[in-house]
Amino acid sequence: MLLQPVMMTDHSDDDTDAGVLTKTKPKTKRPPRYKVLLLNDDYTPMEFVVMVLERFFGMTHAQAFEIMLTVHKKGVAVVGVFSHEIAETKVGQVMDFARRHQHPLQCTMEKEE
């Protein structure tokens, strides 16, 4: 039996490729964001609202005080914008904390436009 050598050819310099397959990445849509809102009431002390903003939203005392004044004057203020899960968690934390301290503070969330 006679073995014939097999020639390996390098096709990199070859223009015989019929076409190049390219994979297109599907455009991923950014998940919706949700605004967390604090609502004014006539009973929750301003100091408590400032404490909530510092504790649950990581605000400085000055930032928290400004937001608290907005809530007091306008009746509502956006205190942060988050993913659905984080917004839901923050609302729950604020509501639980307010109830434990016997304050009627209301915190809600709504989809950002």
**pLDDT digit string (tens) for 19-71?**
666 777 778 888 999 999 999 999 999 999 999 999 999 999 999 999 999 99
**pLDDT digit string (tens) for 75-110?**
999 999 999 999 999 999 999 999 999 999 999 999
**pLDDT digit string (tens) for 3-17?**
555 555 555 555 555
Q: Is 28 exposed, middle or buried (0-12, 13-18, 19+ CB in 10 A)?
A: exposed
Q: What is the pLDDT of residue 45?
A: 97
Q: What is the pLDDT of residue 95?
A: 98
Instruction: Write out the DSSP string of 76-104.
Output: EEEEEEEEHHHHHHHHHHHHHHHHHTT--
Q: What is the pLDDT of residue 88?
A: 98
Q: What is the pLDDT of residue 15?
A: 56
Q: What is the pLDDT of residue 99?
A: 98
